[in-house]
Each structure stands twice: as structure tokens, then as C-alpha cells.
Structure 1
Amino acid sequence: MAALNGITVPQLLRLIGTTDAPVLVDICTDSDFNEDPYLIPGAIRHTHKDVAGLKDILAGRPCVIICARGIKLGQGLAARLRADGIAAEYLAGGMQAWRDHPDTVRVPAAALPEPVDGASLWVTRHRPKIDRIACPWLIRRFVDPAARFLFVSPSEVLAVADRFGAVPFDVEGVAFSHQGENCTFDTMLDVFELHCAPLDQLALVIRAADTNRHDLAPEAAGLLALSVGLSRQFKEDQDQLAQGLLMYDALFRWARDGAGETHDWPGDRSA
């Protein structure tokens, strides 16, 4: 059990990838980080010395402070923020405890795109359907919560990427795209090392829907129907993305907690 103002690895793991996730702040020293350059999914790097700058980033939002071992730096900064009215906790055991837990994943820092004006910038084809909503969801929930996404004409994706420093995805001939029978979502799981049971389950449904192989997962037909419906409902791609993120939030919770649940009528029918 974590001490006062602490959160355990299993407790934090239940929050990762959900809309309840706090801001994760990695304050490992440079020497510790360079020895093991990985981040908890969605975490940002920040020095413990810049409290004012961190408070600006947090803007009053709850956070979890992550240091190497969950001792003086993590506990000290969490206490400092709480003294200023911010709901801050430290990760008990720090990155070492997260690394050693069997069910956690970590994102290699080297895989993260260079930020543009403070956050990653991505570009893809307009009028998204499946991969082009699923991938932004994965990035926002597990890689960079502040990531921004541009939707442009298919012919202009690479030119926009070049001019604006954005990362192109889900177009032919780029790193983040389909690989063989796998879709772009699969590729991102590989690059960011995010393979785990719920995301792999979700990836199967996305792959089946995105590549029209509904035999892989019976849920694919439903995902396709909802995705097409969303694309018809919204003229503005950013509005569609906002609503699509909610859909994938629900799908993630299904994959993590409810994939074995069924439904029948009447509700009290015995097995």
C-alpha cells in the first residue's frame, strides 16, 4: 500500500488510457533517465526544479509525480504541489516499480516525435473512418495527451507534413502506415511498444474493420457501422474526431474489462 499522497502501480495502471487519467510527470534525473530511457504511457518529462513551469502546464489538473524510486524527488514535489492546492500524488516505488510490474508497458522515449509548439503534430487524409480515428485515440491516451491532428486532402498529406513539421500517418509510403496485413494501429503498437492484452484485443477488432476482414472479429461489423455513421454525421473532421475518441474510450473499456460479457432477454433468464 502506498503512503499518504502516494499511488501504487496497480492503481495507476487502472487509470492509464482512460479519461480519468491524471497528468503524469516524469521527473527522473537525467542520469537515471538516460540509463533507462522509457516513459509511462502518456507521461511528460519535466525537471523537479521548475515548479512554476510545471504548475503552468498542470493548470490545476490532478497529477502523479514519477521519479526513479518514489523517494525524495517524487514525494517532495508532490508535497510541494499539494501545498499550493494541486491534487498531486507520487508513484510508490517510482519507475523501478512500474518497470518490474508484470502487466505494465513503457514507451521508448526515442520513438516519440519531436514536438511542434510544445506537442506532437500529426497529419493524415481527411474524412477519417477507422484507423484515422483509432490512431489519434491511441496517441492521445497512451503517447501524447496534447497531440494535435491535421486532416487534409490525400494528395497534400506529405507536403503538409514537410511544411509544418507534422508526422504523416495512414498513407502509403510512410513509417506509420499499414504493414502487410496489419493496419496503422498495429504499427503504432509496435513502434511505441504498447502491446498488452486489452490493446491487442482492440487492435484485432480495428484491423478486422479497417481491412474488411470481419471474420477476424465479430465486433468489426459494428465498428465499421459506427465509423461510417460518424463520418456521415459530422462535416468537420475535428468534431468527428472528438466524438470518435469517446467511442474508442468505450471500446478500450470493453477490451479491458468486458470482452467476455454477453447480453440476453429477459434479463433474469437462467443459464
Structure 2
Amino acid sequence: MSSYTTISPDKLARLIGTANAPALIDVRTDEDFAADQRLIPGAIRRSHQDAGEWSGKFSGNSAIVVCMRGAKLAQGTAAWLRHANVAAETLEGGFEGWKEAKLPLVNASKLPPRDAQGRTVWVTRARPKVDRIACPWLIRRFVDPNAVFLYVAPSEVVAVGERFNAAPFDIENVFWSHRGELCTFDVMIEEFGLATPPLLRLAAMVRGADTGRLDLSPEAPGLLAASLGLSRMFDDDLEQLEAGMTLYDAFYRWCRDATGETHNWPTNKAKP
């Protein structure tokens, strides 16, 4: 049974992907991580050995700590975090408990190299519409919450990627791009191992809006309209991305929690 300092895998799974998800800190030893180089979606790696040094960076926030089985490493790290004014809990059963529950895991080997601050860096074409907002949302909510996105002239994406050690996406002839009928958002879900029912539903919407095949999802025309509207509202691509994060938060929560809900008028209409 969970205590006030632990959280169950099922409860954590409901928090991941939402705007207010806690920081998820993986403190497995290097040996344990080498044996299974996957991460709970959104987790960042930190060493338990210097928790006293980095714990202050999370001050005032909430965090979940994950070790192999939810024992000494997670418990000790969470205690350090609470000492630094962090509302810290440990994952019940740890990484092994999450695996036993058959919940999604991200293959860390698919991630691009991190910069000096531990962030993945990505680059794509400026003036985003659909895929180039949807993919950053997916990455920040499920892969790397601190990811950096560079929007540059289309002709310079590959060169910028090479010079600034950034992973290019949503352009032709790169790994993170369209494949056949799939758009880049689909590819990222597949490659990162995030094929949950809500994300697959959202992927159909994104694919329909991004490729002009609006018949793929009844919601695709609405997503396209909202995306094109945002592109007209913002001259700054990063401001558009921040607004787009809220847009995709809303669509994701609908995909996950509200597809069976309807809204009718008038409110006092008698039920048959």
C-alpha cells in the first residue's frame, strides 16, 4: 500500500504527460541502467551519490524518485530532496515495479546526445504548423522535459544540427521524419515506445491535420484549424510553441479522458 511518501505506478502513469507532472528522477546505478537502458517516460537521470548538490535545483517543486526497486537509493534521495524543500516521493516497486505493470518505457538509446546542462537539443524548420509543434510537445511531456528546440531557416536545418549538436526533425532525409504514410509524430511515438491508446488516437489527429488527410480522424480538421490559427497569432516560433503546448495538453486529455463525453443544449432538456 502506498504511503504519503510513495506513489503507485498506476497513479504516476496518470500524471505523466500532463502539464503539472512532477519531476521524475531516475537514480538507478550505472550498472543497473546499463542492464536495461530504458526510462520511465519523462524521467531524467541523476546520481544518488551527489544528491545533496543537485537537490536544490528542484526546490519548491514536486518530484518522484525511481531506483531499481524503490528501496534505499530512492528513499535516501527523496529524503535529500525533502531537505531541499522538494515535495518528494518514491515510486512503489521502483523501475522493476513499473516494468511488471507493463507500463511504457522509453529507449534511452534513441535519444540524441545531451548538452552540458543535460538537455536534448532538436532543430527543425521555422514557422511551425502541426508536426513541428506536436513533436516538441511529445518530447517535453514524455521524453525530456527540459528539451531545447531550435527553429531555423529550412535550408539550414541540417547544418545547424551538425554545428550545434542538435537532432534535426521533420525535414526530408533524416531519421526523425515522415515515413511512408506516417508523419514525424507517428515515428516518434513508435521509436520511443509510447504507443498507448490515447497517444495513438492523438497521432491519428496529427497525421490527418499534417498531411491533409482530414478523413483520418473526425477531430483532424479542428486540430488543423487551431494550428493554423496559432501560426497567424505568433511571429515568434517559441511563443507559438508555448501556446501550442497548452493546445496539445487539451487534445491529449480529451484523447485520454473525455472521448465518451458529450455536450448538449439546452441544459434542461428532458432525457428520453
TM-score w.r.t. the length of structure 2 is 0.96
Which residue of structure 1 lines up, in the alignment, with residue 40 of structure 2?
A: 40
Deviation sequence 1:196-249 (CA, Å, 0-9, x none): 011001001000111111111010000010000000010111110110010000
1:220 matched residue in structure 2:
220
Q: CA deviation at 1:257?
A: 0.3
Q: What does residue range 90-129 of structure 1 map to in structure 2 within 5 Å?
A: 90-102=90-102, 104-118=103-117, 119-129=119-129
User: % of aligned pairs identical?
Assistant: 52
CA contact (8 A) 2:59 2:84 kept: no
Q: Describe the SS at the equivalent of 1:124.
A: strand
Q: Is the 8 A contact 2:123 2:168 kept in 1?
A: yes
Which runs of 5 or more residues in structure 1 are unaligned? none
The whole-number CA distance in structure 2 between the counterparts of 1:81 and 1:26 is 13
Secondary structure of the structure 2 residue equivalent to 1:151: strand
Separation in structure 2 between the aligned mates of residue 208 and residue 141 of structure 1, nearest angstrom: 22
**RMSD (Å), alpha carbons:** 1.2
C-alpha contact (below 8 Å) 2:59/2:85 kept by paired residues: no
Aligned length in residues = 270
SS of residue paired to 1:116? coil
Letter in 1 for 2:108: A
Gaps of at least 5 residues in structure 2 are none
Give TM-score, length-normalised by structure 1.
0.96
Comparing 104-113 with 129-138, greater Cα deviation is found at 104-113
Please say if residues 27 and 65 of structure 2, whose CA atoms lie closer than 8 Å, have aligned partners that are also in contact.
yes
Q: Following superposition of structure 1 onto structure 2, how do residues 121-140 of structure 1 map, counting pairs within 5 Å?
A: 121-140=121-140
Counterparts of 1:162 and 1:74, CA distance in 2: 37
After the TM superposition, which residues 167-186 of structure 1 pair with which residues of structure 2 at under 5 Å, given as runs? 167-186=167-186
Task: Give 1:68-107 correspondences, 5 Å limit.
Answer: 68-102=68-102, 104-107=103-106
1:83 Cα shift? 3.0
Residues 52 and 80 in structure 2, CA contact (< 8 A), matched pair in contact too: no
Find the aligned partners of 1:108 and 1:268 in 2 and give their Cα distance. 51
107-116 or 48-57, larger mean C-alpha shift? 48-57
The secondary structure found in structure 2 opposite 1:263 is coil
- Tell me how far apart the structure 1 counterparts of residues 10 and 54 of structure 2 sit (CA, whole Å): 25
In the alignment, the residues of structure 2 paired with residue 80 and residue 53 of structure 1 have an alpha-carbon distance, to the nearest angstrom, of 9
Do the aligned residues in 1 keep the contact of 2:123 with 2:166 (CA within 8 Å)? Answer: yes
Q: State the AA in 2 paired with 1:242.
A: E
Aligned residue for 1:25, secondary structure, equals strand
Equivalent residue number for residue 151 of structure 2:
151
CA contact 2:27–2:47 (8 Å) conserved in 1? yes
Which residue of structure 1 aligns with residue 17 of structure 2?
17
